[in-house]
């Protein structure tokens, strides 16, 4: 909703100001210029990226307009799931987790955290690294190094769509110039016509320059920024899991290990330690 409101403000102020200054909206409507600019941008995107990146660009763009699923409740479920997993390890060792981490979707433990099950990347990260810990003895420094490398690889992969969108946003003014130059070429073909006709054709060509700048700075650049911010939130969740696991292997009590991970969560929705402690007490009482 906020993104749509922002777009409404952009369109309202830009085109509303244009009309208030005496401009006519019909003059801005130049389908040929729009086809040239957007077509060139889309084509460049297809040339520059493999198929799976194009799918991810579409998915992330679509998700940017939806309400974020990474709410305070999502964070509560993440912290409580990690706490419950670590408590199981304390009671029966890492082998106890086999029945849960092998097929998370069928685990009665993970089914108590439905928001997490929807996030395939996060669940894969959690189950794979608990499985890594269960395979053999590993100290906190080795585990931290392995997880840092994995998160770096995920970061590079997950930020490619927003970076690709950013590059296209930067190229849009250039595509607008291409459209404008083509418009001027058409104008020069009618140089023997009336001044009124030439004026209309020059105005249509200049619309291409305007649209290139408009698409770049008013639409695609903000969208790429929104995609990157959403990806950063996803990475903070992985950082939370990494910190919890490293602190657990280092011998910290379960509550302190989970609290260390809590500190990695986004500030705007991060729970306090008191709230985390209250959630743990509620879980223990319910058990």
pLDDT digits (tens, 9 = 90+) for 19-37: 999 888 888 898 999 999 9
On the question of pLDDT at 259 being above 70, the answer is yes
- For residue 145, what are the domain limits? 30-66+137-286
Q: Which tokens go with 35? A: 């086809």
Q: For residues 144 and 47, what is the distance between their CA atoms, to the nearest angstrom? A: 38
Domains in the chain: how many in total?
1
At 83, the pLDDT band (50, 70, 90 cuts) reads very high
Angle formed by the axes of helices 72-92 and 273-286, nearest 10°:
60
161 falls within a domain: yes
The proportion of the chain whose per-residue pLDDT surpasses 90, expressed as a percent, equals: 57
List pLDDT tens digits, range 193-238: 778 788 888 888 899 999 999 999 999 999 999 999 999 999 999 9
Query: Could you read off the pLDDT of 170-190 as tens digits, one per residue?
Result: 999 999 999 999 988 888 887
* 1 within a domain of the structure (yes/no): no
Q: Is residue 78 part of a domain?
A: no
Q: What is the pLDDT of residue 107?
A: 78
Q: Is residue 12 part of a domain?
A: no
For residue 186, report the phi and psi dihedrals to the nearest 5 degrees: -65, -40
In a domain, 114, yes or no: no
Instruction: Specify the 3-state DSSP secondary structure of 232.
Output: helix
109/116 Cα distance (integer angstroms)? 11
């Amino acid at each position: 909703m906020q993104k749509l409101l922002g777009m409404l403000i952009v369109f309202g102020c830009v085109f509303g100001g244009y009309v208030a200054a005496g401009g006519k909206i019909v003059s801005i409507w130049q389908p040929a210029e729009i086809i040239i600019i957007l077509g060139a941008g889309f084509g460049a995107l297809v040339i520059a990226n493999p198929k799976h990146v194009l799918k991810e660009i579409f998915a992330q763009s679509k998700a940017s307009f939806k309400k974020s699923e990474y709410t305070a409740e999502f964070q509560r479920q993440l912290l409580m799931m990690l706490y419950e997993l670590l408590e199981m390890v304390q009671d029966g060792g890492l082998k106890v987790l086999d029945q849960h981490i092998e097929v998370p979707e069928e685990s009665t433990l993970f089914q108590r955290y439905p928001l997490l099950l929807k996030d395939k990347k996060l669940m894969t990260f959690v189950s794979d690294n608990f499985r890594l810990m269960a395979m053999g003895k590993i100290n906190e420094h080795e585990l931290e190094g392995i997880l840092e490398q994995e998160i770096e690889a995920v970061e590079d992969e997950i930020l490619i769509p927003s970076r690709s969108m950013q590059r296209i946003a930067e190229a849009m003014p250039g595509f607008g110039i291409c459209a404008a130059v083509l418009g001027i070429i058409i104008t020069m073909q009618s140089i023997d016509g009336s001044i009124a006709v030439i004026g209309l054709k020059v105005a249509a060509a200049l619309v291409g320059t305007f649209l290139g700048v408009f698409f770049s700075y008013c639409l695609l650049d903000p969208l790429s920024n929104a995609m990157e911010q959403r990806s950063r939130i996803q990475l903070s969740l992985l950082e939370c899991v990494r910190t919890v696991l490293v602190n657990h292997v280092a011998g910290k009590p379960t509550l302190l290990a989970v609290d260390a991970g809590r500190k990695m969560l986004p500030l705007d929705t991060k729970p306090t330690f008191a709230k985390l402690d209250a959630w743990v007490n509620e879980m223990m009482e319910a058990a």
